[in-house]
Structure 1
Amino acid sequence: MTISINRLFILLFLALFSCFNFKAYSQYFKSAAGIRISDNWGVSIVQILTKRWTAEMLLQPDPVEDFVKSNLLIRHHLPLITRRFNLYLGAGLNFRLGKSEVDFAKTIGASGIGGLELKLGRLLISYDVVPEIPLHASSDYLSLQTGLSLRYILIKANKKKWNWKKFKFE
């Protein structure tokens, strides 16, 4: 049974991002998307899950080997100086989608992620390290990838309104 890359991408995108519409407290955005610069150019999409948790999807085509490397990651954010500058750590799955007849189960692996993120206006700038370990027994590679992501905030978070009636100034 073969599944086209387009159908699989749409299925993964809908499954990962359509059901999350929580308020963001430690971040100032709900959804962001942009480019990722690493070994190859790619796409990075981030969605807020809860207060300090986000989901990220990385898609990077490899024109030499004719496949698209995909990562689905869950990240935990730790504010450093302000909520606009934070450290994040996380984990998830990676897999490769290609035109070759390679068994899909042989392309699945585990990924980690660690990095720094800075928000400037509606621009998110992040630098991270993504180690990847294959889960198939016949694969023995460990890859370590670093990248710079530049994302634009598509959906901003609702601003929290203060209840000034609690403070009585007389």
Structure 2
Amino acid sequence: MNKALVFPLFLLSLLLATPGFSQRYGTALGLRFGNSDLNRTLGLTLQQRVTERVTLEGILQSDFSKNTTFSLLAERHRPIISKRFNYYLGGGVAFGNEESFVKNPDTKEIVHTYGNATFGVDLVAGIELTVANAVIAVDYKPNVNISGREEFYRGQVGISARTVLVKSKEQKRRQKQRQKAKRASQKQPKKPFSELFQKK
């Protein structure tokens, strides 16, 4: 058998045979390692499921030198094999302090600046696997600059490892409890306004 097929087949067999893989997440927090032509970054990633197939993700990352950014992304998930192994697409806004490179065609010099306050749009495409209490993801996150730096486009590949803080079932249970409490409070009869002035 081709050695390149061994790991994917092993992974597939685990996904199909192990009931523990069926666990999904409501809230997950972890680390994200980013790599681009410009730098390598380390950051925090927090994902919060807001509907059955949509999550919000916040990413705070830095190269601990000249680039620190924060991204807020909305992501739509679709299952590949099952709900625990899926791909996602999304986008959002990005803020940061970044370095910039300006080329001068006359002198053929590159002017390097840093500490630039930047604003832009992030897109993201990735795949993720939920294994017990862990979520492993690989993504590509291009950034389109709107203001703050010279380069219009930068791309980054990221690998994330998150731990599940709130399971999907627990999140749904809490939502049902809140809805039930809200309905119960709406059913309670309201006292007439005139009763406020009556002596007890």
Post-superposition offset of 1:158? 1.8
The within-5 A match list for 1:14-163 is: 28-38=24-34, 39-65=40-66, 67-97=67-97, 102=116, 104=117, 107-136=118-147, 139-158=150-169
User: Structure 2: where are the runs of 5+ without partners?
Assistant: 1-22, 35-39, 99-113, 174-200
Secondary structure, aligned partner of 1:158 = helix
* Distance in 1 (alpha carbons) for counterparts of 2:87 and 2:73: 15
> Matched residues in 2 for 1:138 and 1:45: separation?
27
Aligned residues: 131
Does the aligned pair in 1 maintain the 2:119–2:148 contact within 8 Å? no
Contact kept in structure 2, 1:70 and 1:97, CA below 8 Å: no
Aligned amino acid, residue 88 of structure 2: Y
- The 1:42/1:138 distance shift into structure 2, 3 A limit, reads closer
Cα displacement (A) at 1:141: 3.2
Larger radius of gyration, structure 1 or 2? Answer: 2
1: CA distance, partners of 2:149 / 2:159: 31
Displacement of 1:136: 2.1
Unaligned runs of 5+ in 1: 1-26, 162-170
Aligned equivalents of 1:55, 1:111: Cα separation in 2: 13
> CA shift at 1:97, angstroms?
4.5
Partner residue of 1:164? Answer: none
**TM-score of the pair, normalised by structure 2:** 0.60
Q: Which runs of 4+ in 1 moved over 6 A?
A: none
2:89 alignment partner AA: L
More helix by share: 2
Deviation (angstroms), 1:138: 6.1
Q: Which amino acid aligns with 1:40?
A: T
What whole-Å deviation, never above 9, does each CA across 1:146-165 have from its counterpart, x for those lacking one? 0100000001122789xxxx
CA RMSD of aligned residues (A): 2.4
1:115 alignment partner, SS class? strand
What TM-score, normalized by structure 1, do the two folds share?
A: 0.70
